[in-house]
Amino acid sequence: MKAKYGGLEVSDARRLRQLEDENGKLKRLLAESVLDNDPEGLVGKSLTTPGQRRGAALGVMRDYQVSQRRACVLIGVDPKTVRRERPPDHAEIREEMR
């Protein structure tokens, strides 16, 4: 703490900290408004399969550091689709079933 605010008075250090907190809040608000307008540039794209919707939600979560709930609302996908891992593909079993 002293290394960061070493040459400042107590009141100046307190004000600087308040400004840093406010700046962080404003950055989060800006990111949320950008996401509300067009998350991942998905306007005009059709997300027809659950895999595409899941991938879009995971991409929003990764790129914008938003919660799973928020990403699912933005993309319009059920959270269970995003949480659920895809089962492994067994090509040989599918062939035997044909």
Asked if 68 and 81 count as a contact pair (C-beta separation under 8 A), the reply is no
Distances 52 to 12, 32, 37, 38 between C-alpha atoms, Å: 50, 22, 20, 16
Give the pLDDT confidence score for residue 39 in this predicted structure: 57
Give the pLDDT confidence score for residue 19 in this predicted structure: 92
Give the pLDDT confidence score for residue 18 in this predicted structure: 92
Give the pLDDT confidence score for residue 51 in this predicted structure: 85
What residue spans define the domains of the chain? 1-38, 47-85
Per-residue tens of pLDDT for the chain, all 98 residues? 556 667 778 888 888 889 998 988 887 777 677 666 665 565 446 777 888 888 888 988 888 888 899 888 888 889 998 888 777 888 898 888 88
Q: Which residues contact 13 (CB under 8 A, 6 or more apart)?
A: 5
